[in-house]
Amino acid sequence: MTKPLILIVDDEPQIQRFLGHALAASGYDTCFAATGQGALEAVAAQKPDAMILDLGLPDLNGKAVIETLRAKSNLPIIVLSAHDQEMEKIMALDLGANDFVAKPFGIGELLARLRACLRKAPQPEDILRQGPLVIDLPGHTVTRDGAPVHLTPTEFDLLVMLARNPGRVLSHRQILLQIWGPAHGEDVPYLRVFIGQLRQKIESNPSAPDLIRTEPGIGYRWMAD
């Protein structure tokens, strides 16, 4: 697990610096934007794990930023505002902000709220990890203990489907429908073969699997931590 990246959106350089130092000291990576437009670009380019957004921006209204982001992502957003007006809070929260802190704020409170937001907003990750295994979705590659693992396309799809549902049981039927298409909902033997091949390639001890566990009569489950 790498350090969470926090995007700070504020047009006052002093506040940028202040927040930047405080967050860095608490173990976060940071990046910055000074305008609403810049914020949207930074989100797209850097894919931060959370955003701290000052409502008082020069160009776009901060609320427009929230609205735009919410249309396509559930990035945790903490709103910062000079005005301790109730109306501000209500509107920001209703637009989809996750939390609200009024200036002047205590850095401790901000950090606590940030932790609370990060704790319960696990966005769909691009990189899945489980023990020694790393699955790079955009790169379409899998490595174990740093060594690349060669998977056929079907094996890869199957692995991704499992790893995206950690701890949950996926039924034979569910998996077959998603990977092999609507015509093969009953072809359980395919599944068995491919699960076997996957285990050979990714389990440290294929005969005592602890990543892909089988649920007799039901399906398979990807083990969470």
Site of interaction with DNA (CB under 7 A): 150, 152-155, 180, 187-190, 192-196, 199-200, 206-207, 214, 216-218
C-alpha closest to that of 137 among 128, 145, 146, 129 = 128
Query: Which among DNA, a copy of itself, none contacts residue 169 (Cβ within 5 to 8 A by kind)?
Result: a copy of itself
CB burial readout 99-130, b (16+ within 10 A) else e = bbbeeeeeeeebeebbeebbeeeeeeeeebeb
Check residue 122 for interaction with a copy of itself (CB under 8 A).
Answer: no
Cα–Cα distance for residue pair 48/116, rounded to 1 Å:
16
**Nearest residue (CB) to DNA, 70 versus 173:** 173
Q: What is the DSSP letter of 166?
A: B
**Nearest residue (CB) to DNA, 109 versus 186:** 186
Check residue 83 for interaction with a copy of itself (CB under 8 A).
Answer: no
Cα–Cα distance for residue pair 203/217, rounded to 1 Å:
22
Binding site for a copy of itself (CB under 8 A): 74, 86-87, 89-90, 93-94, 96-99, 106, 108-109, 111-113, 115-116, 119-121, 138-141, 152-153, 167-169, 215-218, 221
